[in-house]
Chains A and B, each alone.
Chain A
Amino acid sequence: MIRAENVSKYFGAKRALGPVSFEIEEGETVGFLGLNGAGKTTALRIFACDLRPSSGTVSVGAIDAVRNPHEVRKLVGFLPENPPLYADMQVSEYLAFAGRLRGLSASQLKKRLPDVIEATNLGGVQNDLILTLSHGFRQRVGVAQAIVHEPKLLILDEPTRGLDPVQIVEMRNLVRNLKKAHTVLISSHILTEISETCDRILMLGEGEIIASGTEESLLSKVEPDVATGTWRIGVAVVPKADGDPYREPVVKNLLSGLPGITEVVDAGREDNAQCFEVLADRDIRAELCRALIEAGHGVVRLGGSARKLENIFLKLVQGGDRARN
């Protein structure tokens, strides 16, 4: 669907992106992940034919975006960071305007508008002025204008920006539904957003792609033990109070003796609890908890690995920084 070869973008002398090369297949949902200023928005604006690349070639649906931007624009629906809304228009009037701009005829609009309004759940506000809408509804209208002409490629730049938790869940569900009919590109620096909606991740750092792949394949690059099936379990234990102040070796020995555990590492203190990081060949959290309680110890925290994507992101970004330094 998208083929980018050595694409770069300069604003004056400042490099905003590239050179980057990658391909995105039809039907994929790809997340652009990166810190602010990493080049996510620049990349998306190039694919939406809003920005012309300084060098390199971009094709969308086998059409050269530099030579035929108009043809590419017909294939793309774009929700920028700030939804392009005319405050003085009613929702349905605005969507009709956006549809007509993208080439829909009056009869096509008549059929298409109710579907778009239903898909984005705008039925209750379709006759309201955009000026009067809440931020969440405005964001939905932004998505609706991007899909009104049934584009093959849907580009969403920070679709959950500024939304409250309920609206974020609604937007996530909306994006999941849109995945069925479109190739979707989403940019975000919210890791769960990308983790829960995308098939593949492109991580950008200072204008360059620092990693690409599924969440699992990226994890295998930075934490091979977790990716190969090893479980990393964090546990905080209050040792049994029996007058002996040096109970940690007892707890550690107990943990080390449990079947399935390959390594136990001291992880310091947390108030009056002793913390351990346990590596196991399977998920043994239930057995571990039972063994500690039966031995008379208290368990105040027990968890699996820390957020996977967060780990990947931090390690790759920090790795990139170290490499550059």
Chain B
Amino acid sequence: MTTLRIMRYALLSGAYDYGSIYTWRSWLGGWFLRVLAQVSFFALIGRLLGAEQQTWFLLVGNAVMLAAMEGVWALNMVSWERSAGTLPLLAASPTSPVLVLASRGVYLIADGSISALGALFVLGPLFGLPLPWPRVLLVIPLTILVGASAYCLGTFLGGIVLGYRGVNSLVANVGLVAVMTLCGINVPLAAYPGPIAWISQCLPVTHGLIAVRDVLSGNLAAAGVQALIEAAVAVCWLGICLLTFRWFVYRGRRSGSLEYAT
């Protein structure tokens, strides 16, 4: 019960933080506009190439990538706690810091999924992407799965940056573009060299995105298998995160790197 209470308060705290950054108006006129522009930016490469299938491939990949993008931002939770001066208190508390840090950013999965689905359902028809009803509804849980999977990776990366306060944004940005490069967002996995394709299999997004593409093309059985693999990848990253976080905090205590810093 205590664990659930801590998770609830952490989640509410994160949601209130986010509410202080965006209003509905600024979210729609600022953030969502960027989301639409980001997906259009990549989808238009397909138009440049004069290939409709490639346009759709890029549109779907980059829309789903938005859920992953916000999921990876979970690693920012560490720097936000640090700049608020609450990181040492978390480390000193009897509760595991990973519980608070992993719960506090759950709103990112919701926001990322809404952004991704919003982009897909707004831009899809504009670019002529077929969204067959009702099976397109399966894209919703799959997008949330991708967001959650990336969130597990983001929380793990948050543990790594605990001890290196100067590299938070660096890890977040390079990590994101690396996911964008490696996970079949812009070209099929078959286009990657062998070892790179192998790394892609172990990263979040890859299988979830294939599942989304399978749903849209009507291959539901294959989509189910890919969704299960994506869930397994998410569980693995969560496991790695839980196993390593305690050590990261211990290392931070020893080196004194959990101090307040803006």
A binds B: no
Q: Interface of B with A (CB < 8 Å)?
A: none
